[in-house]
Amino acid sequence: MRHQKKTVKLGRTAEHRKALLANQVCSLIEHQRIKTTLAKAKALRPLAEKMVTLGKKNSLHARRTVLAVLRQKGAVAKLFNDIAPRSATRNGGYTRIVKLGRRKSDSAAVAFIEWVDAPQMIEEVLLEKKGRKSKEAKRGAESGRKKKTEEAIAS
């Protein structure tokens, strides 16, 4: 039984999973928002939040600990200089997961994971979704008009 087993394995070995999550945290730090599967986003969130908590301490030991996990100096510098100070007043909950539905190719649940302190990102996603829906509605209306005109011509 898997009682009290918190680690999500993601179908990978321990080393592969550790490298994957470290790379995704670095991408999240660099790009402020990444698109990934929902399972990976949920597995990524605790690690990203721990890195921000260490970044808020701003000590040499914390910096070395983050560097040991992430293994990218540029990402560590951006975390300590940009992201951690932005989250200084917040006591946890530094990330947000926005579900995007299912991927067409393999029907995997897809989501954005982003920093909460970057609110303009979520607005862009919502506008993008609305724009996509309105485009689909326009296409449907246009095809309906075409059918009606074709039927009128035929009769």
Q: How confident is the model at residue 118 (pLDDT cuts 50, 70, 90)?
A: confident
Distances (CA, A) of 6 to 2, 48, 95, 96: 9, 16, 19, 20
Give the residue-averaged pLDDT of 115-144.
68
Indicate whether 72 pLDDT > 90: yes
Average pLDDT, the chain: 88
At residue 48, what is the residue type?
Answer: A
Classify 1-117 by CATH class.
alpha beta
Out of 78-87, 109-118, 133-142, which region has the weakest mean confidence (pLDDT)? 133-142
Q: How far apart are CA 27 and CA 21, in angstroms?
A: 10
Which CB contacts under 8 angstroms, 24+ apart, belong to 146-152? none
pTM: 0.77
CB burial of 34-44 (b: ≥16 within 10 Å; e: otherwise) equals bebebebbbbb
Alpha-carbon distance of 126 to 113, in angstroms, equals 14
Q: What is the pLDDT of residue 44?
A: 97
78 exposure class (CB count in 10 Å sphere: 0-12, 13-18, 19+):
middle
Which has the closest alpha carbon to 57: 21, 85, 22, 96? 85
In this predicted structure, the answer to whether residue 147 has a pLDDT above a threshold of 90 is no
